Structure 1
């Protein structure tokens, strides 16, 4: 297995997106490293994974955690359940102005089975972004996930994939969840913090302008907050058994 570590390439501190102003970073090096990884490079090989498929026939590894079955990979579909295409938006100006469900790949690089796509909240709101029978994880489901791994203050350690976070960070991926720091796209179109943060939408809105999200950074915790709906974040799908 490849032993690849992502180091800090810039001054981003990996803190909550609503309490800091991101600075530009050298994304090209980070994207190049992560884009060469397969899921096999970041998986926990002691975990028995299931398999699911989206409407585009992309394959995802899944795993059972408590009463929920989770995707072990970020969603990468470009089509809703009903066959409606999700707009793939590369241009910053178009991303900033779009009012429809949209997605993109980080820094417009090729989407991979490790990074997945980034989606605006309009895509989440369709309730058709995940495969039939699956849904975007809500606040309570994220908290339930953390509760299975020592609570929100410590869960990040067991949720982080091995080999892709700064080597100084404690990671076990004991869960098999294989969280990868795939970064995000801000509402004006710029990309930030690949290699530093894993950030996923919650299905729950916060208010008329903002929606909830959960993230893992250079700390040991799984944190929740809220942000404007126009940004692009990762998505994990889940279903209850």
Structure 2
């Protein structure tokens, strides 16, 4: 790992570095509070043992989207015991996400709720960008404050790619039911009133979403 550069954001230490996966892909990393996260979406096509991941699709099957958006995985690959993350890392759980959300300012009373949560446009602090719209202006000094670089990769369902540029959906490793698991959603589209919030919900494990890993 490279020597990190120390930044400060509202008294939260934000420490940047890098890590490689088993294929040699290099990722930015960021420490936010006590957690160390990938600061970009996972791009791996192999588990830690070198076996191939069944999903791992590039949005729109366009190689030009790989570095910007990473790959999209179904939940079965996300939770496979062979581990899709770099060695020493894991797919972030629902609890990991809740800790991040509390660190960046979502009240303790809200983190366990389902649906859109967070006030004061808290979500823009982890988004790579958030343009102003006709209906709302954002404090651009707060955009990507925590160097998380979330971007609107969209999702894949069966053969179709949808919502690119409008939403990013992150899987968590946390199971909900036989068919559903927990995820996180960020909204980007001009017409969506929840662009400043983070959604916690459960959804079919057959969707293919972006993945963020967290250091063990």
Coarse TM-score class (shorter-chain normalised): 0.7 to 0.9
Secondary structure, counterpart of 2:96 in structure 1:
helix
Q: Which residue is 1:57 aligned to?
A: 24
C-alpha contact (below 8 Å) 2:59/2:66 kept by paired residues: no
C-alpha contact (below 8 Å) 2:15/2:32 kept by paired residues: no
Q: Which residue is 1:190 aligned to?
A: 160
- The yes-or-no answer on 1:212 pairing with 2:182 is yes
Q: Which residue is 1:112 aligned to?
A: 66
The equivalent position to 1:203 in structure 2, one of 150, 173, 188, is: 173
User: Unaligned stretches of 5+ in structure 2?
Assistant: 1-6, 107-116, 189-194
Structure 2: distance between partners of 1:60 and 1:84? 20
Structure 2: distance between partners of 1:167 and 1:119? 30
Q: Provide the TM-score with structure 1 as the length reference.
A: 0.70
Q: Which residue is 1:239 aligned to?
A: 215
Q: Which residue is 2:46 aligned to?
A: 79
User: Unaligned stretches of 5+ in structure 1?
Assistant: 1-43, 88-101
Considering only aligned residues, what root-mean-square deviation do their CA atoms show, in Å?
A: 1.8
Alignment of 1:138-157 (within 5 A): 138-151=93-106, 152-154=117-119, 155-157=122-124
Secondary structure, counterpart of 1:180 in structure 2:
coil
- The yes-or-no answer on 1:122 pairing with 2:76 is yes
Secondary structure, counterpart of 1:212 in structure 2:
strand
Query: How many residues were matched structurally?
Result: 179
Alignment of 1:28-67 (within 5 A): 48-67=15-34
The equivalent position to 2:132 in structure 1, one of 146, 167, 187, is: 167
Q: Deviation above 3 Å: which 4+ runs of structure 1?
A: none
Structure 2: distance between partners of 1:86 and 1:147? 32
Structure 2: distance between partners of 1:131 and 1:53? 6
Structure 1: distance between partners of 2:75 and 2:15? 31
